[in-house]
């Protein structure tokens, strides 16, 4: 396994992280625990979850799975998403964040979070209130580092400037959708991360399976696929994305690897990227994703990948998450 520092922080994270969105939902508890153990056994130390994943079950499962090895794990969770129908059940207010941090600590069976992330920007709460609250978490010892998720470039820069002016702990990382079919972060967010020493954490690196090569058309439904479970997923299978997937599969075949591994390997070469979050619904998928670490992308193949994905720098983002 390879490790990198998370931005300018002192955290050293595995270049491949484990996303746990499906744990406690589509992926049952027993399978989820086996996935976590497979990841840890292969050197993955970065686990990413959120308080809203499976209504908290994802955090509970992780807490059970890492009992006894907590010190070996870089544990990341998020808050800010909606937990209930009440007026204070979402957002980045002091009240909501304090309550959610304590509940996450309880579910995760730990007394500290390595990376505590705000799930998205909250326009209804003064940014100073959010940052002061997060600073207090770090000073209390309940949180080691803080990060942002789904921030636009101007939102992140505003937060960094406020932290400097108010002498607060600053964000060390930002999560964003980033893949060969979603390069919109390269317009402003990625260059900002390079300039400010912020670790970029891509999620949806395989675009929910589109970049694995298993989708040929919207009319062909692979058994057990997301498209089989959710017919509305067909809306994501646009002609330009499917064409890129076909081109990716061809290039991967030419260099003797899988399209999924090549897609992750390409991401690992992008500036500012510290770790790539890859989900898994079976332990075998963790092993498949780890193949990306053995992929050597020659200059010709890299040039082809850059070329076929260039239209997606200014294309429609594949995924965004904002408070509603």
For residue 45, name the pLDDT band (cuts at 50, 70, 90): very high
Q: Render pLDDT for 244-267 as a digit per residue (tens, 0 to 9).
A: 999 999 999 999 999 999 999 999
pLDDT at residue 221 in the model = 75
Please, which pLDDT band fits residue 188 given cuts at 50, 70 and 90? very high
pLDDT digits (tens, 9 = 90+) for 63-117: 999 999 999 999 999 999 998 888 888 899 999 999 999 999 999 999 999 999 9
Residue-range domain boundaries for the chain: 3-209+268-294
pLDDT surpassing 90 at residue 279: yes
144-181: pLDDT as tens digits:
999 999 999 999 999 999 999 999 999 999 999 999 99
Could you tell me if 266 and 304 are in contact, meaning their C-beta atoms sit under 8 angstroms apart?
no
Active site residues: 53
Q: Is the pLDDT of residue 323 over 90?
A: no
CB within 8 Å of 258: residues ≥ 6 apart: 212, 213, 252, 288, 291
Per-residue pLDDT tens over the stretch 219-244: 777 887 888 788 888 889 899 999 99
**Residue 232: per-residue pLDDT:** 84
Q: Report which of residues 217 and 71 the model is more confident about.
A: 71
Fold of 3-209+268-294: TIM Barrel (3.20.20)
Determine the pLDDT at residue 125.
97
Q: What rounded mean pLDDT belongs to the chain?
A: 95
224 half-sphere exposure, CB direction, 13 A CA radius? 4
206 pLDDT higher than 80: yes
Average pLDDT over residues 316-323: 88
């Amino acid at each position: 396994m390879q490790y990198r520092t998370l931005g300018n922080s002192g955290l050293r994270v595995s270049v491949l992280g484990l996303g746990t969105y499906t744990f406690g939902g589509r992926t049952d508890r027993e399978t989820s625990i086996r996935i976590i153990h497979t990841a840890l056994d292969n050197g993955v130390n970065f686990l990413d979850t959120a308080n809203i994943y499976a209504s908290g079950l994802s955090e509970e499962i992780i807490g059970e799975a890492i009992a006894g090895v907590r010190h070996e794990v870089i544990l990341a969770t998020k808050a800010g998403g909606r937990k209930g129908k009440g007026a204070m059940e979402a957002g980045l207010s002091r009240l909501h964040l304090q309550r959610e941090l304590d509940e996450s600590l309880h579910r995760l069976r730990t007394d500290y979070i390595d990376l505590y992330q705000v799930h998205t920007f909250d326009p209804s709460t003064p940014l100073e209130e959010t940052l002061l609250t997060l600073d207090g978490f770090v000073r209390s010892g309940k949180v080691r580092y803080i990060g942002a998720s789904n921030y636009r470039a101007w939102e992140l820069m505003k937060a960094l400037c406020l932290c400097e002016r108010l002498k607060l702990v600053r964000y060390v990382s930002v999560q964003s959708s980033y893949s060969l079919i979603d390069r919109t972060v390269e317009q402003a967010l990625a260059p900002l991360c390079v300039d400010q020493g912020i670790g970029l954490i891509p999620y949806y690196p395989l675009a929910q399976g589109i970049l694995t090569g298993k989708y040929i058309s919207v009319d062909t439904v692979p058994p057990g696929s997301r498209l089989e479970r959710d017919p509305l997923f067909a809306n994501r299978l646009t002609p330009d994305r499917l064409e890129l997937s076909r081109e990716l599969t061809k290039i991967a075949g030419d260099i003797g690897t899988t399209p999924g591994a090549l897609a992750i390997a390409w991401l690992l070469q992008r500036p500012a990227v510290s770790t790539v979050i890859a989900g898994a619904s079976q332990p075998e998928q963790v092993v498949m994703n780890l193949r990306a670490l053995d992929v050597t992308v020659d200059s010709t193949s890299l040039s082809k990948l850059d070329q076929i994905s260039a239209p997606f720098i200014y294309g429609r983002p594949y995924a965004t998450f904002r408070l509603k």
